Structure 1
Amino acid sequence: MHTLPVSLPVHPQLVVRGARGAHDRSDFLLVRVMTSDDVAGYGEVSATPLWSGEDGTSAEHFIRTVLAPAIVGRSLTPVGALESLMDRLLAGNPFTKAGLATALWDAYARTLDVPLAVALGGPYRDRVPIKLSLSGDGVELDEVHRAARELGFRAFKVKVGLGVDGDVARVARAREVVGPETFLGVDANGGWSRSEAVRAVRELASYGVRFVEQPVASSDLAGLRAVRDIGLPVVADEAVFGLSDLVALVRAEAADCVSLYVGKSGGPGRALAMGQLAAAFGMDVLIGSNGELGIGAAAQLHVACALPALSAEFPSDIIGAHYYAEDILAQRLDSDGTTVRLGDQPGLGVVPRPDLVHAFR
């Protein structure tokens, strides 16, 4: 098992500024596992301390000192058993576990010589609609939108949760620049109080907003329900990390859709299981983003395609092929900004650039 720290700047015109701060650079940890038959599997720890409490440094420490000693030498199958073992060894840290779990699933699918989506039970589709975040005010927002359009994006969500008056003005500006028919949602990242959220959602109704993502704090399920009762669809994001969070959300009837991450869930297998559970209770599912690089984005894509039910109303956030100033992949994902498409190569279907492969510790 090998790791490689990677730090990349975000495309300067696509930097996201939201209620949890600006995301202008990402420090990730790439993970490689090798089977006894010399099959390599790759994963990526996509974590930012401000958001998840994890980063590449903590991930490398726990992988080297806690997870690798227990996993190296074990059978690769069933991969789900290795995911469960990681939960017994290390509390929390889902993004760290997800990076290693993705590498294990990648190696497993490559051993079978099938795409990961097939190993996960799919695919149910071969392309996934996507959207991009717009943030900033005035001319700054205009420039982000212009850059996004040049990359092919035609669906967006606006970062809000920074003060209701400014949020409404920002959404009004966004609607003006994207046009009256363009898909547009808002994402508060839990930045509103319950009363602010209710006021904001009512004021935003006239701008044709299609959804509001995480309008209140992650623990405030009653607040999510109160916003949902106004009539605008609610997407839960920060409120749902693991399975117990999802169960609580379902019981509270607090959201119309849940934004699932490979990272938040703890790995591809866990994300798939959570998506299946949400769909069984009639909840829409989309694949959300923590600013994944190419390997993480490939894992998002395969999970999205392996889900029996994926939202037809809300685009997902598989943006790794566009979000960074450079790509870590030898060959980028097939994405034109409107959709990202599944290939037919085994495993994740991607590998890091040769210089990164040679740099693994």
Structure 2
Amino acid sequence: MTATIATIQTARVSLRAAPDLLVRGARGPHDRSDFLLVRIVTSDGVEGYGEVSATPIWSGEDGTSAEHFIRTAIAPALLDRPLTPVGAAEDLMDKVLRGNPFTKAGVSIALWDAFARTLDVPLAVALGGPYRTEIPIKLSLSGDDDELERAYAAATSAGFGAFKVKVGLGLDGDLHRVRRARDLAGAAFLGTDANGGWSRADAHRAIPELKALGVQFVEQPLEPRDLRGARELRGLGLPVIADESVFDARDLLDVVEAQAADVVSVYVGKSAGPGRAVRMGQLAAAHGIDVLLGSNGELGLGAAAQLHVAAALPRLSTYPSDIIGAHYYTEDVLAKPLDSDGRRVRLTDEPGLGVTLRDDLLREFR
């Protein structure tokens, strides 16, 4: 008999970013995460956990909106329904709630976690992998002068050796920041992320200088829908990564048709769940485009989901992904952190997400 979804519970969690690693991007600073954790219990007693990694300045969602929609729309639709196929539950969420991909992702992660635990396999296996068990990672650097120096010192102290610099905050300051980051990092891997903050003129001026500094890529240089402009920038010789331009499969196909990116940043929150994130990666690969795993500042559960998706993708960019989890925060939500040394994050053979929440957080579910 197929297990059904018996219980859906939520718990609020709020963590502050580590002060020296605070990200200051074109969309504003990310100094704390007020997220929502999700627990699903099946009729067989199997538990699955997820995380709604949503921030209003980025996605228009947060823990408050997510909890409201899970309780009033998603839970009534899913309770007593079969756990499998998970895709059917995801389709049902789309029918009862428009948009809100990060909220749906939190529930979807928990569904996939429960499914993989039912099979007693890692989530990456349930998603069709793994194609790899180690994922190279990088960390964002932001701030100016002393702030940037403190960020770099904190990042290297945590073991990181690859970075991307936040730009899109004013071109002269952006270029100064990247030059200083290059001075600090020496020959280390360095990319840039404008979060859509540049005009075409800014980007045309910036990219030749970034290329001369040995920058490896420019992420989301223009506002999300300016695909024609992004295509023009690719002709300047620096790879373009699309992030905010790509949330779903339709967005991805638009980018492909416009030839607007060399690499696409995919992650579980934007895609509304791990299975859909993998399908996005497969679709990109079918069109000859690599993907990497970006970040919305995920906590431990979200970072674990990102890790399993990266492991399950048939084609992953050689550029480091952004699976950073607890590295960004003053504390961890996991009882045992992900296996990460700042250079790589590694998959384990534990079932499901392969992680466990702290006991105090487990007591918060309602």
TM-score where L is the length of structure 1: 0.99
1:346 and 2:351 equivalent?
Answer: yes
1:103 and 2:110 equivalent?
Answer: yes
* Matched residue, 1:164: 171
* Matched residue, 1:22: 29
Q: CA deviation at 1:229?
A: 1.2
1:37 and 2:44 equivalent?
Answer: yes
Greater Cα offset, 199-208 or 93-102: 199-208
Q: Secondary structure at the match of 1:224?
A: helix
Q: How does 1:141-160 map to 2 (within 5 A)?
A: 141-160=148-167
Give the gaps of 5 or more residues in structure 2: 1-7
Residues in 2 aligned to 1:351 and 1:245: alpha-carbon distance in whole angstroms: 34
* Matched residue, 1:63: 70
Query: Which of 193, 199, 202 is the aligned partner of 1:187?
Result: 193
Residues in 2 aligned to 1:247 and 1:87: alpha-carbon distance in whole angstroms: 20
1:252 and 2:258 equivalent?
Answer: yes
Structure 2 counterpart of 1:242, which letter?
A: D
Q: Over residues 15-65 of structure 1, what are the superposed CA-to-partner deviations in whole Å (9 max), with x where a residue is unaligned?
A: 000101100101000000000111110000000000100000000000000
Q: How does 1:1-361 map to 2 (within 5 A)?
A: 1-179=8-186, 181-312=187-318, 314-361=319-366
Alpha carbons 1:185, 1:210 under 8 Å: kept: yes
Q: Secondary structure at the match of 2:34?
A: strand
Q: CA deviation at 1:206?
A: 1.4
Residues in 1 aligned to 2:164 and 2:25: alpha-carbon distance in whole angstroms: 11
Q: CA deviation at 1:95?
A: 0.1
Residues in 1 aligned to 2:328 and 2:172: alpha-carbon distance in whole angstroms: 28
Structure 1 counterpart of 2:353, which letter?
A: L
Q: CA deviation at 1:231?
A: 1.0
Q: Over residues 114-149 of structure 1, what are the superposed CA-to-partner deviations in whole Å (9 max), with x where a residue is unaligned?
A: 000000010000010000000011111011000000
Q: Secondary structure at the match of 2:65?
A: helix
**Aligned residues between the structures:** 359
Q: CA deviation at 1:321?
A: 3.0
Alpha carbons 1:258, 1:285 under 8 Å: kept: yes
Residues in 1 aligned to 2:159 and 2:62: alpha-carbon distance in whole angstroms: 31
Give the gaps of 5 or more residues in structure 1: none
Q: CA deviation at 1:281?
A: 0.6
- What percentage of aligned pairs have identical amino acids? 69
Alpha carbons 1:276, 1:308 under 8 Å: kept: yes
Alpha carbons 1:213, 1:237 under 8 Å: kept: yes
Q: Over residues 246-279 of structure 1, what are the superposed CA-to-partner deviations in whole Å (9 max), with x where a residue is unaligned?
A: 0100111100000001000000010000000001
> Structure 1 stretches (4+) deviating beyond 6 angstroms?
none
